[in-house]
Amino acid sequence: MDDAVTVRHLVVDRGHRRVLPGLSCAVPAGAVTGLLGPSGSGKTTLLRALVGVQRVRSGEVTVLGEPAGSPGLRRRVGYVTQAPSVYPDLTVRENARHFAALYGRGARAADDAVATVGLADAAGQLVADLSGGQRGRASLACALVGEPELLVLDEPTVGLDPVLRVELWDRFHALAAAGTTLLVSSHVMDEAGRCDRLLLLREGRLLADLTPGELRTDAGTADLEEAFLSLVRRGEGVSA
Ligand SMILES: Nc1ncnc2c1ncn2[C@@H]1O[C@H](COP(=O)(O)OP(=O)(O)OP(=O)(O)O)[C@@H](O)[C@H]1O
């Protein structure tokens, strides 16, 4: 499988801290890759570098064959941040139609995206009146509407109930089956099991790049949370 993203020796400083000290990794095309790691491990920083909004000190990030942040990638890459990026004074439908228009797509595509994230019943509501989880999904709809080749999602299931979570993950896999590459960050290890591949980060370093099955086998436990912790402990043992 080709890689949609390759990262080589990426060094990023934020404030006075070296957050990514020389990270190398790859994201396979047409699959759902989970970017997992504890809070502060550098997940958002890596995602920001992929979409070209992070100042980097050195290294190379190639996205869909072009340097990250190239103007040509703007329409090919969708990014949903942890903070929903939608207009509070517009309805869900109006937001989706606005972004659809920016991508040269019609009202039908906008309405489909709203339905996909389970917000059809709330389409006429102002975003300002939505719950946090609903607002996040409205933001996701606005990214989906452009049908990007690479979808970068920063903790998209935070605040969602289990039913919606499962539905969204099914949707992610349907998109991947249709050829979209998804990179989804999470610190919820039970979501790791839903990914085709996992990149496990710790303190800005790649702890492992493997499938959920490999992680379980490697750690000798079916519990992914436990498996991740065992990997962390092993890493600490090696560096000690
Ligand atoms: N603007 C900033 N200035 C200085 N340091 C920052 C800034 N933004 C993030 N950091 C630091 O960079 C490190 C990595 O942050 P990042 O947001 O990439 O982690 P994360 O793995 O996405 O965490 P979370 O799961 O909590 O979102 C953290 O130590 C954080 O405190």
Domain-embedded: residue 199: no
Range name among 66-75, 123-132, 163-172 with the lowest pLDDT average: 163-172
Domain-embedded: residue 82: yes
Domain-embedded: residue 137: yes
The pick from 11, 16, 17, 153 for probing ligand 1's pocket by mutation, whose C-beta has the most ligand atoms within 8 angstroms, reads 17
Pick the atom of ligand 1 nearest to 37's CA.
Answer: 21
Structure tokens at 238: 């090696």
Tell me what pLDDT residue 236 has. 66
Residue 36 Cβ contacting ligand 1 at under 6 Å: no
Residue 15 Cβ contacting ligand 1 at under 6 Å: yes
Domain-embedded: residue 106: yes
- Cα–Cα dist 32/144, whole Å: 15
List strands edge to edge, sheet with 3-14: 17-28, 3-14, 58-63, 66-67
Distance 194 CA to ligand 1 centre (A): 25
pLDDT tens string 197-234 = 999 999 999 999 999 999 999 889 989 889 988 888 87
52 Ramachandran zone, left/alpha/beta (phi>0; psi -120 to 50): left
Tell me what pLDDT residue 1 has. 58
Pairing outcome for strands 181-186 and 32-36:
parallel
Angle at the Cα of 106 from the Cα atoms of 144 and 75, rounded to 5 degrees: 45
Residue 40 Cβ contacting ligand 1 at under 6 Å: yes
Which domain covers residue 118, as residue numbers?
77-147
Determine which residue's CA is closest to atom 7 belonging to ligand 1. Answer: 14
pLDDT tens string 48-91 = 999 999 999 999 999 999 999 999 998 899 999 888 889 999 99
Domain-embedded: residue 159: no
Mean per-residue pLDDT, 15-37: 96
Domain-embedded: residue 26: no
Structure ipTM: 0.95
Domain-embedded: residue 189: no
Structure tokens at 150: 């690479």
Number of domains in the chain: 1
Distance 220 CA to ligand 1 centre (A): 31
Domain-embedded: residue 187: no
Rounded to two decimals, the pTM is 0.91
